[in-house]
Amino acid sequence: MAKNDLLVVGELNVDLILNGIQGFPQIGKEIVANDLTLTLGSSSAIMAANAAALGLSTGFAGMVGNDQFGDYVLETLEERNVSTAFVRRSDSYQTGVTVVMNYDEDRANVTYCGAMEAMTSLDIPWFEMSNYRHFHLSNFFLQKGLHQEITAIFKKVKSLGLTTSLDLQWDPADVWNFDYKECLPYVDVFMPNEAEILRLTQEDSVESALKQVEPFANTIALKMGSKGSLGIKNGNRIQVSAFKADVYVDSIGAGDSFNSGFIAKYLQGAELGDCLLNGNLMGAINTTMAGGTEAFKDKKALQTKIEQLQHSKTTS
């Protein structure tokens, strides 16, 4: 029997996105936003939903509360063809919520973690792991129940024959308690952005940070925003320029969409440069609609955007 492509383990929350905000919040004062959008949030869910949109058979393992936001998360994932069979519902914790305050091409986030903090390695469907080809974990720092077990988790997944990827995301506590020297040997693709790898290594330059991490990593896929992405494997480096979409709405989930595009090509056995190129493409498409998944919702429209961006890059 053919295996499923991708199992994503991670946090689940909704995003409440505020746009057209008149000023910056100050204690004791009220400001107004001109637009509000409720959408599927969380780095992990965005990656899973968009990977499914790209044709990967995808399952998700996580935790939500027994509440309306939990209903919304599960319904939206299922609508996007992501299996939620391994998502647990908690009576003790509410579903996570992130309030996103958008300011042009930048933003500020406030997150209530809720159920995502309660998940442990016991909630990972180990009995089903052999039915998947690839394991992806994202937003490590928000999932406190996994902190002490992260290396053991990746080591066990590798022993079961899966390929693996990891996107740490930002540490809100700014502690960066992740032993990359111990864990990364069991991670096939490490997927940080520039700001994250700088803080993780406490280095002053991206080049110095990469030199710290590279000896322990199998493949690094470094997200560089408008500069594209950089791949490092077996001492070889390749940088791929970014795509530029004609329409920009916001960059929420762009890095997660990069992950989905990269892994989709990776599972086809593509070369590193092609994986980076597809990651950049999906990251650019992500920015054309609000939130992390809306641009991938309509498969026909998605294919049109892919063709348009590919054409514009070859003719530019």
H/E stretch holding 6 = strand 4-9
Is pLDDT above 70 for 315?
Answer: no
User: Amino acid identity, residue 143?
Assistant: Q
pLDDT in tens, 168-186: 999 999 999 999 999 999 9
pLDDT in tens, 203-238: 999 999 999 999 999 999 999 999 999 999 999 999
pLDDT in tens, 124-166: 999 999 999 999 999 999 999 999 999 999 999 999 999 999 9
Is pLDDT above 90 for 252?
Answer: no
Question: Distance between CA 235 and CA 258 in Å, rounded?
Answer: 22
**CA distances from residue 259 to 35, 53, 88, 292 in whole angstroms, order as listed:** 28, 13, 24, 12
Look at 9-13, 56-60, 174-178, 286-290 and tell me which has the smallest mean pLDDT: 286-290
H/E stretch holding 59 = strand 58-65
Q: What is the pLDDT of residue 316?
A: 59
Question: Distance between CA 89 and CA 83 in Å, rounded?
Answer: 15
- Lookup: tokens for 284: 């650019």
Question: Distance between CA 69 and CA 254 in Å, rounded?
Answer: 23
Q: What is the pLDDT of residue 290?
A: 85
Options 3.40.1190.20, 3.40.50.2300, 3.10.300.10, 3.40.50.620; CATH for 4-12+42-95+114-315 is 3.40.1190.20
Are 21 and 101 spatial neighbours (Cβ–Cβ below 8 Å)?
yes
Of all residues in the chain, the percent with pLDDT exceeding 70 is 98
**Closest residue by Cα to residue 134 from 191, 82, 57:** 57
Domains of the chain, residue spans? 4-12+42-95+114-315
- In this structure, the strands spanning 58-65 and 82-90 are parallel
Average pLDDT over all residues of the chain: 95
What integer is the mean pLDDT of 5-32?
Answer: 92
- In this structure, the strands spanning 229-233 and 219-223 are antiparallel
How many CB atoms lie under 10 A from the CB of residue 202?
10
**Strand arrangement of the beta sheet that strand 4-9 belongs to:** 82-90, 58-65, 4-9, 132-138, 163-167, 189-190, 219-223, 229-233, 236-240
Is pLDDT above 90 for 250?
Answer: no
**Closest residue by Cα to residue 108 from 98, 117, 96, 100:** 100
State phi, psi for 84 to the nearest 5 degrees: -110, 20
Question: Distance between CA 238 and CA 272 in Å, rounded?
Answer: 8
Question: Distance between CA 185 and CA 217 in Å, rounded?
Answer: 6
- Lookup: tokens for 62: 């996580």
**CA distances from residue 46 to 9, 233, 260, 261, 282 in whole angstroms, order as listed:** 12, 26, 9, 12, 12
Res. 104 pLDDT band, cuts 50 70 90:
confident
Q: What is the pLDDT of residue 173?
A: 94
Bridge partner residues of 97 (DSSP): 14, 112
Q: Which position has the token pair 């780095």?
A: 43
Residues in the chain: 316
Residues 171-181: b if buried by 16+ CB within 10 A, e if exposed: beeeeeebebe
Res. 1 pLDDT band, cuts 50 70 90:
low
> Exposed, middle or buried, 292 (CB in 10 Å: 0-12/13-18/19+)?
buried
Question: Distance between CA 73 and CA 75 in Å, rounded?
Answer: 6
